[in-house]
Amino acid sequence: FHFCYAQQFEFTPNYDESKVPQFKITNPLISFNGRKIKNTKRWEKVRRPELLNFFANNVYGKVPGELEISKWEVVEENANALNGKAHRKQVDIVFNKDGKTLFFNILMYLPNNKEKAPLFLGYNFYGNHAVCQDVKIRIPDTWARNNESYGISNNQFTEKSRGVRKDSWQVEKIIDSGYGLATIYYGEIDPDNNDFYNGIHPFFYVDGQQRPAANEWGAIAAWAWGLSRAMDYLEQDSDVDATKVIVFGHSRLGKTALWAGATDERFAGVISNNSGCGGAALSKRQYGETVGRINNAFPHWFARNFISYNKNEKALPIDQHGLLALIAPRPLYVASAEDDRWADPRGEFLAAYYATSVYELYGKKGIPSEEMPQVNQPLINTVAYHIRTGGHDVTAFDWEQYIKWADEQVVKNF
């Protein structure tokens, strides 16, 4: 059944820069009670926790408890994958609680020329088998969104979707650059539907509870939680350099990567690809997708408390630059696409710019000015940004920049 707290919502997106409302940007280095944060110690003791708490209670929702991996199992592996370049592993991560079971499968490719590989970790939208044309990749049998061109009907994946997203994953490029890739089908943690009876949420319900409380996790926080559990596994996989795991995500999964990076400091770097509203973009600009629109179209993504900012962005005590600042001093890459106006490229850029003061507190370089770089001219510092030509997607160009930035900022082998 469905929870219908979405009302009818009249919406025409604004794409006119001159109609962006005037607003004040909250200084990330002034605490909610007005104190100036002058050093990293105060940031870590006072400001970072209060911001984290704000986003947890009012935007993404808190995780109501703890649940450890019950067991993991390597269900398939081959040291000679991708013409001998890579070691492929498929690992089931299993959770058991009160008679309930949930598992997700991590597909990994690790470069054979590295002992412990740095790694990109990210969710996929269409199943692990969609990221690479490799017949050995298992096809998830969990819920899938129907998609005729990918051969997905009756909410089931088929052979037809094998490799369909390979251009957005660039597995060979990643391996050739000395990185591993770990990917998970996001629907295995929580199917992307407006309901809360399946996926991981029910594992935390008390008797009779049917949905999370107003300040508890929506789907994005649940997916972010899954990334942290994947990290628990990676930390004890001796083929991986767990100190160099970069969490990556596109669009709703970019929002997820940002929240995972903010909540789990084990992630050594974070990539937001076209994450837009509720991700890297400033909500107060109300350009393209807005808080009200996203909460109405996807009522299950955020904590219910986030609804109080529908058509009321000005009430936000901190905007999404505060989320980006939570990732400091770890390297952060925010990427936009010129035609992806729905995600507000300028809003994504400005959030990275306004988060920069926190990086500077740590002596790191972020975005030096309010001037956006030209299209296809990446700005690569600890906080990196690019806007490329084209639309809402992940491309080879995007991956080339992420690898270059990871070389310089995370792995330091350039």
Q: Nearer to ligand GTR by C-beta: 89 or 252?
A: 252
Site for ligand GTR in 42-101 (CB under 6 A): none
Contact between 294 and ligand GTR (CB under 6 A)? yes
Whether 251 is catalytic: yes
If you write DSSP's letter for every residue of 269-325 in order, what string do you get? Answer: EEEEES--TTTTS-GGG--SS-HHHHHHH-TTSS-GGGGGGTT-GGG-SS-HHHHHH
- Compute the distance between CA of residue 282 and CA of residue 324 in angstroms, rounded to an integer: 11
Which listed residue (177, 251, 275, 336) is catalytic? 251
The size of the interface with ligand GTR (CB under 6 A), counted in residues, is: 7
Q: Nearer to ligand GTR by C-beta: 43 or 302?
A: 302
Contact (CB, 8 A) for 63 and 125: no
Q: Nearer to ligand GTR by C-beta: 276 or 292?
A: 276
Which listed residue (31, 228, 357, 392) is catalytic? 392
If you write DSSP's letter for every residue of 141-189 in order, what string do you get? Answer: -S----BGGGTBBTTB--GGGTTTTHHHH-HHHHHHTT-EEEEEEGGGT
Q: Which region among 136-144, 178-186, 214-222, 289-297 touches ligand GTR (by CB under 6 A)?
A: 289-297
Q: What are phi and psi of 141, to 5 degrees?
A: -105, 15
Give, in order, the Cα–Cα distances in Å from 231 to each of 121, 234, 266: 9, 5, 8
Minimum separation from the CB atom of position 195 to ligand GTR (A)? 18
Burial label for 57, CB within 10 Å (0-12, 13-18, 19+), is: middle
Q: Edge-to-edge, what's the strand order for the sheet holding 100-111? A: 71-80, 86-97, 100-111, 180-185, 117-124, 240-250, 269-273, 332-337, 383-388
Minimum separation from the CB atom of position 300 to ligand GTR (A)? 13
Minimum separation from the CB atom of position 374 to ligand GTR (A)? 25
Q: What are phi and psi of 69, to 5 degrees?
A: -60, 130
Contact between 277 and ligand GTR (CB under 6 A)? yes
Minimum separation from the CB atom of position 33 to ligand GTR (A)? 33
Minimum separation from the CB atom of position 185 to ligand GTR (A)? 15
Q: Nearer to ligand GTR by C-beta: 94 or 297?
A: 297
Give, in order, the Cα–Cα distances in Å from 213 to each of 5, 180, 273: 13, 38, 30
**Both tokens assigned to 49:** 């926790």
Q: Nearer to ligand GTR by C-beta: 177 or 286?
A: 286
Minimum separation from the CB atom of position 20 to ligand GTR (A)? 18
Binding mask 225-244 for ligand GTR (x = CB under 6 A): --------------------
Among 90, 251, 336, 395, binds ligand GTR (CB under 6 A): 251
Reference 358, options 366, 349, 350; nearest CA is 366
Q: Nearer to ligand GTR by C-beta: 234 or 258?
A: 258
Whether 2 is catalytic: no
Minimum separation from the CB atom of position 162 to ligand GTR (A)? 21
Q: 276-293: string of b/e by CB count within 10 Å (b at 16+)?
A: bbbbbbbbbbbbbbbbbb
Q: Nearer to ligand GTR by C-beta: 134 or 289?
A: 289
Contact between 289 and ligand GTR (CB under 6 A)? yes
Strands 117-124 and 86-97: unpaired
Contact between 216 and ligand GTR (CB under 6 A)? no
Site for ligand GTR in 358-387 (CB under 6 A): none
From its phi and psi, is residue 107 left (phi > 0), alpha (psi between -120 and 50) or beta?
beta
Which residues form the interface with ligand GTR (CB under 6 A)?
251-252, 276-277, 289, 294, 297
Which residues are tagged catalytic? 251, 392
